[in-house]
Structure 1
Amino acid sequence: MGTPLGDFVRAKRDSIRPESFGLPDGGRRRSPGLRRSELAVRAGISVEYLTRIEQGRDRNPSHSVLHALADGLSLDAGERHHLRYLAKITGGACPGHRPPAPPNREVRPTVLETLRLLEPGVAFVTNRLGDVLAHTGGFELVVGATGLLDAEAPNLTRYVFTDPRARTVFPDWDQVADEQAFDLWLGPSAESSEWFSVQLAPVAGQEFTRRLHQHLPPPAVPLRLDHPVAGELRWHREKLELPSTDAQELVVLLPADETTARAVERLRHHRHGALRAVG
């Protein structure tokens, strides 16, 4: 049985083009990427030990081994942080750990006040599971027609993988799906991430489970959203981590171009006009 750490090392090894490290292609590789022997040499560890890590038979590699693997795989700063996180939760995945449980969904009053000050901006509070815990009216204006907020407890990850509308709403669906699956490894806790994955996997299917074990950080790109009324909207995302006790983040969506900014203004005028007509 594999582990998050072993899955990540293997996935990253498979993703590397040998020639980028100055290694000959060889033309007879059974799979793309680095061979175990090649990574073992670069990291200065034995092939047998690397095999045990990748197969989940060694759950507690030392810090020096983690640094060596990071160097051998040429990980960037974000990937090194993720490697250390996976090592932490892998080492804790043993009998006696706390049972899976959902995270706390309460948002502090001061955070809610911050959202109020951001109006009419497009912002929401979430966690790495994708829960939409609170949001501005501007956020509802932009995503309300997509169906994301229809659920009693809206969750972006569940919406992406289980709601057919998501593939139309997000033109770059694969990118968004990769992001949401990767974020689960940075969830409020290892226990809550496990709880959510167990809940979602049966209904989300292979598209979810395949991504769950990739462990490769997706690239940071603008978010494209195909709004049913306003057309294509492009957003930059600023994410502000709240204190670790909250295990939440404040996400602000900023128009990535003038077309998006104008489209959002038209949506606001349309809504205000509709409200006046009802009154």
Structure 2
Amino acid sequence: MGTPLGDFVRAKRDSIQPESFGLPDRGRRRSPGLRRSDLAARARISVEYLTRIEQGRDRNPSPAVVNALADALSLDAAERDHLRYLVKMTNGACGGRRRPEPPSREVRPTVLETVRLLEPAVAYVTNRLGDVLAHTSGFELVMRGSGLLETREPNLTRYVFTDPRARTFFADWEQVADEQAFDLWFGPSTETSEWFKAALAPLAGQEFTGRLDRHLPPSQVPLRLDHPTAHELRWQRERLELPRTDAQALVVLLPADETTARAVERLRRQPGGGLRAIG
């Protein structure tokens, strides 16, 4: 039986073309990507040891081996953080089957004031589970008609996978679905994320469960919204992680082109509310 750590290393190895590392093309293979022997050589570990890691038979590699694998796979900063998280989860540092305490929905007053100062920008506070905890009136304007904010405690992940309107609203639904599923690896705690995934899986089905074991971070691309009245809106996203919170972050959506900027100005002429914190 594999482990998240082994699955990640194998998936990353399979995604790398040998030529990108200056290795010769050795002809057709049964599996794509970098050979296990080539990765082991780059990491200066034995092929047997690498096999044990990938197959889940070694669950606690040393920090030196983890760093060597990260270097050998040319991981970026986000992928290195994810690799270290998977090591902790695989070796049993995070476990538990009992339903955990839900993450706090409280947003610090200073964060709420920061969001208020961002008006009339499009911004919201969320956590890695996808809870929408506070937002500007600009965010409410952009999301109006999508269905996301119609529930008492809106959750972007649940909306993406269970509300049919999401597939129309998000022009690149597959990309957004990949992002939301991947974010669950970094939830407030492993126990909380596992509970959330178990609760959502029966409702969301295979589109959700099929993404849970994908360990490669999705590529970062502009967010495209097919707005019901403003048509296509394109956004660049800035995500600011908030310290000392339950994996909360402040996300700001910035118009990616003039068409989007003009469309948002038209939306702002409509009646709208101010900052809203969702308890």
Same-fold status (TM-score > 0.5): yes
Asked if 1:263 corresponds to 2:253, the answer is no
Q: In the TM superposition, what are the counterparts of 1:33-48 in structure 2 within 5 Å?
A: 33-48=33-48
Asked if 1:190 corresponds to 2:190, the answer is yes
Structure 2 gaps of 5+ residues are 273-279
Counterpart residue type for residue 137 of structure 1: S
SS of equivalent to 2:259: helix
- Shift of the 94–112 alpha-carbon distance from structure 1 to 2, 3 Å rule, reads closer
Quote the residue 1:19 is aligned against. Answer: 19
Quote the residue 2:113 is aligned against. Answer: 113
Q: In the TM superposition, what are the counterparts of 1:225-244 in structure 2 within 5 Å?
A: 225-244=225-244
Provide the C-alpha distance between the structure 2 equivalents of 1:87 and 1:244, rounded to a whole number of angstroms: 23
- Shift of the 193–178 alpha-carbon distance from structure 1 to 2, 3 Å rule, reads same
Counterpart residue type for residue 247 of structure 1: A
Provide the C-alpha distance between the structure 1 equivalents of 2:204 and 2:177, rounded to a whole number of angstroms: 11
Q: In the TM superposition, what are the counterparts of 1:1-279 in structure 2 within 5 Å?
A: 1-92=1-92, 97=96, 99-101=98-100, 102-271=102-271
TM-score (norm 2): 0.90
Quote the residue 2:277 is aligned against. Answer: none
- Shift of the 194–223 alpha-carbon distance from structure 1 to 2, 3 Å rule, reads same
- Shift of the 30–225 alpha-carbon distance from structure 1 to 2, 3 Å rule, reads same
Once the two structures are superposed, residues 33-81 of structure 1 have per-residue CA deviations (whole angstroms, 9 ceiling, x without a partner) of 1222222222122222222212222221101100111122111222112
TM-score (norm 1): 0.90
Provide the C-alpha distance between the structure 2 equivalents of 1:89 and 1:166, rounded to a whole number of angstroms: 31
Once the two structures are superposed, residues 181-225 of structure 1 have per-residue CA deviations (whole angstroms, 9 ceiling, x without a partner) of 111111111111111111122222222222221111122221111
The alpha-carbon deviation at position 124 of structure 1 amounts to: 0.7
Contact 2:94/2:191 (<8 A) preserved = no
The alpha-carbon deviation at position 164 of structure 1 amounts to: 1.5
Counterpart residue type for residue 105 of structure 2: R
Q: CA RMSD in A?
A: 1.8
SS of equivalent to 1:237: strand
SS of equivalent to 1:146: coil
Provide the C-alpha distance between the structure 2 equivalents of 1:145 and 1:94, rounded to a whole number of angstroms: 40
Question: RCO higher in 1 or 2 (8 Å CA, sep ≥ 6)?
Answer: 2
SS of equivalent to 2:232: strand
- Shift of the 81–94 alpha-carbon distance from structure 1 to 2, 3 Å rule, reads closer
Please identify, of 215-224 and 35-44, the stretch whose mean Cα deviation from structure 2 is larger.
Answer: 35-44
Provide the C-alpha distance between the structure 1 equivalents of 2:269 and 2:158, rounded to a whole number of angstroms: 31
The alpha-carbon deviation at position 126 of structure 1 amounts to: 0.3
The alpha-carbon deviation at position 98 of structure 1 amounts to: 7.0
Counterpart residue type for residue 261 of structure 2: A
The alpha-carbon deviation at position 121 of structure 1 amounts to: 1.5
- Shift of the 204–93 alpha-carbon distance from structure 1 to 2, 3 Å rule, reads farther
Contact 1:100/1:194 (<8 A) preserved = no
In the comparison of the two structures, how many residue pairs are matched? 271
More helix by share: 1
SS of equivalent to 1:142: helix
SS of equivalent to 1:211: coil
The alpha-carbon deviation at position 94 of structure 1 amounts to: 6.6
Provide the C-alpha distance between the structure 1 equivalents of 2:209 and 2:10, rounded to a whole number of angstroms: 16
